[in-house]
């Protein structure tokens, strides 16, 4: 009888559930580290910074090129007085003419009329005489008083025969051209002016090449051979 009581009492204690201990904390799982994501974030930041730096550097790649300060007619070459330098962003799609190549560019001629303010590219120029169909170039040697002192390549002039009897097909003129003069060419373009040689200084003659209508070339050449040509500046087209 006593054995059963003890056994029952022990069994009752063993079956009772154990309550939680006050003050204990449940363990938290360790934080999972992701080094790959951190490395990717750093890489993206570096790539972005590199891209911005590249854009800034490319924006600063500027080159010195040629810009017109005056209009250049078709078939004419540029002169020092018609150009200036300007800085532009380098562009592989545009064939800008570098400032240091200006002397070489003077040997070429404009394919078409180039207007003041144009930034020059190589495709605007070509080699050749620059003469249009129906034009001719005639060389004349002008004495002092037969030309304006500031005459230059690209100027437009009227050409008169002076010092002799007027030609039959010329229009007689009076006034600035002088009595007994005849209009040989109403409009001609100065293709070239040669200055500074010893011959020019000693003879006081100025060699000038004039581009004229081919129909007037023979009369002009005849007057030029006799030294009877004078030119007067007129407004351009």
Tokens 């008083």, located at residue: 145
Q: What is the pLDDT of residue 34?
A: 67
Distance between CA atoms of 146 and 135, rounded to whole angstroms? 23
pTM: 0.42
Strand pairing class (171-173; 229-234)? unpaired
Q: What is the pLDDT of residue 204?
A: 72
Contact 152, 193 (CB under 8 A): yes
User: DSSP letter string over 131-200?
Assistant: PPTTEEEEEEEEPTTSS-TT--TT-EEEEEE-SSPPPTTSEEE-STT-TTEEEEEEEEEEEEE--S-HHH
Contact 183, 160 (CB under 8 A): yes
pLDDT in tens, the chain (237 residues): 455 555 455 555 555 555 555 555 666 666 666 677 777 777 778 777 776 666 655 555 789 999 999 988 877 889 999 999 999 988 777 889 999 999 989 888 887 778 899 999 988 887 765 567 788 889 899 998 899 989 998 899 999 999 765 444 444 433 334 445 799 999 999 988 887 644 444 457 899 989 999 899 999 999 999 999 999 999 976
Considering Cα of 197, then 199, then 203, then 207, what sign does the dihedral take? Answer: negative
Domain ranges of the chain: 62-126, 135-234
Task: Read off the tokens for 21.
Answer: 């201990």
Strand pairing class (156-161; 171-173)? unpaired
User: CA torsion, points 132, 134, 141, 82, in degrees to nearest 10?
Assistant: -20
Q: What is the pLDDT of residue 58?
A: 56
Distance between CA atoms of 128 and 113, rounded to whole angstroms? 16
Task: Read off the tokens for 234.
Answer: 């007129």
Does the 62-126 domain belong in CATH 3.90.1210.10?
yes
């Amino acid at each position: 009888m006593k054995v059963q009581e003890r056994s029952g009492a022990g069994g009752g204690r063993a079956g009772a559930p154990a309550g939680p201990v006050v003050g204990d904390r449940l363990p938290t799982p360790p934080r999972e580290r992701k080094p790959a994501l951190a490395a990717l974030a750093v890489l993206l930041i570096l790539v972005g910074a590199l891209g911005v730096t590249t854009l800034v550097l490319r924006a600063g790649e500027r080159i010195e090129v040629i810009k017109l300060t005056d209009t250049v007619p078709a078939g004419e070459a540029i002169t020092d007085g018609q150009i200036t330098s300007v800085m532009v962003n380098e562009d592989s799609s545009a064939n800008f003419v570098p400032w240091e190549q200006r002397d070489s560019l003077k040997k070429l001629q404009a394919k078409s009329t180039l207007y003041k303010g144009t930034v020059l590219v190589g495709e605007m120029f070509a080699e050749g005489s620059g003469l249009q169909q129906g034009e001719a170039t005639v060389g004349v040697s002008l004495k002092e008083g037969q030309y304006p002192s500031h005459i230059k390549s690209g100027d437009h002039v009227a050409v008169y025969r002076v010092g002799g009897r007027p030609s039959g097909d010329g229009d007689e003129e009076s006034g600035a051209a002088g009595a007994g003069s005849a209009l040989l060419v109403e409009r001609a373009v100065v293709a070239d002016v040669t200055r500074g040689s010893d011959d020019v200084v000693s003879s006081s003659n100025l060699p000038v090449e004039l581009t004229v209508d081919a129909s007037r070339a023979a009369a002009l050449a005849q007057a030029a051979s006799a030294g009877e040509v004078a030119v007067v500046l007129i407004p351009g087209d």
